């Protein structure tokens, strides 16, 4: 029996959407979830800041928790620091990238929206994905730090005015050609946590896609043949900063099997 965990890493609680998909596919998976609350939010930081912080922090986490695999459950951290993390660590590292390929396969209007953080939507990596998988599509982008905050607040139980979601989506739909968007990529792992609110706020029906299911399949592939506990042990949630919000996040964490909380 191998109790080494899979370590999920994000700037906040957005990566819980990825953990949920992985748990659905691998119910016996031991898990450690790390929220870099001391560095939150990533989307407003520079590439240099994220490129220096993430590899160093994941090196410490790998030493402390001895995971069998690390999932960077954050689009911003992945598009900037994934290569550096893989070079620094001698274990499998799975990243999270905008699901533009999935959106292009789904879209009929051939106009796709990419909704992410400011740091993610400006990355050349997104240009490359669009050129490779959606060359016949119009790909419109919008970055929103506010939507990250709304997702964090929702998990704490704080309500939000629906007009805030409508205003955020207007950043996509009000662009030239935006009225033809039929598929939106949730290019931040926080955003699936408020997908219901986004659907309700959209000016016309659209599909929302993200990469969580693909990440879960990748974890399963990389751990194929490895032993798992008979029953998944209680999961651990780790915050790099204060845990003042941990009590308010208790139900959400427990709902994802994370019953113990500690500070790094």
Catalytic residues: 74, 188
User: What is the distance between the alpha carbons of residues 16 and 141, in angstroms, rounded to a whole number?
Assistant: 24
User: What is the distance between the alpha carbons of residues 100 and 24, in angstroms, rounded to a whole number?
Assistant: 23
Angle between helices 212-222 and 16-25 in degrees, nearest 10:
50
Name, in order, each residue with C-beta under 8 angstroms of 58's C-beta and a sequence gap of 6 or more.
9, 70, 72, 85, 88, 89, 93
Radius of gyration of the chain (CA): 18
Name, in order, each residue with C-beta under 8 angstroms of 222's C-beta and a sequence gap of 6 or more.
69, 92, 94
């Amino acid at each position: 029996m191998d109790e080494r965990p899979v370590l999920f890493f994000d700037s906040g609680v957005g990566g819980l959407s990825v953990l949920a998909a992985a748990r659905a596919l691998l119910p016996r998976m031991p898990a450690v979830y790390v929220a870099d609350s001391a560095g939150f939010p990533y989307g407003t930081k520079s590439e240099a800041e994220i490129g220096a912080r993430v590899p160093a922090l994941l090196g410490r986490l790998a030493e402390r928790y001895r995971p069998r695999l690390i999932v960077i459950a954050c689009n911003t951290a992945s598009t900037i620091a994934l290569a550096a993390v893989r070079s620094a660590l001698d274990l499998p590292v799975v990243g999270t990238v905008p699901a533009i390929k999935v959106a292009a396969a789904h879209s009929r209007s051939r106009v796709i929206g990419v909704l992410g953080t400011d740091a993610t939507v400006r990355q050349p990596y997104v240009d490359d994905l669009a050129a490779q998988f959606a060359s016949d599509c119009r790909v419109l982008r919008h970055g929103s730090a506010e939507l990250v905050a709304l997702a964090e607040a929702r998990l704490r139980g704080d309500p939000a005015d629906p007009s805030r979601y409508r205003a955020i989506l207007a950043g996509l739909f009000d662009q030239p050609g935006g009225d033809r968007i039929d598929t939106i990529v949730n290019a931040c792992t926080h955003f699936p946590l408020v997908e219901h609110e986004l659907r309700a706020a959209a000016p016309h029906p659209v599909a929302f896609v993200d990469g969580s299911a693909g990440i879960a399949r990748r974890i399963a592939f990389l751990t194929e043949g490895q032993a798992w506990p008979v029953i998944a042990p209680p999961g651990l949630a780790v915050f790099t900063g204060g845990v003042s919000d941990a009590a308010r996040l208790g139900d959400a964490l427990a709902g994802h099997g994370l019953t113990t909380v500690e500070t790094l």
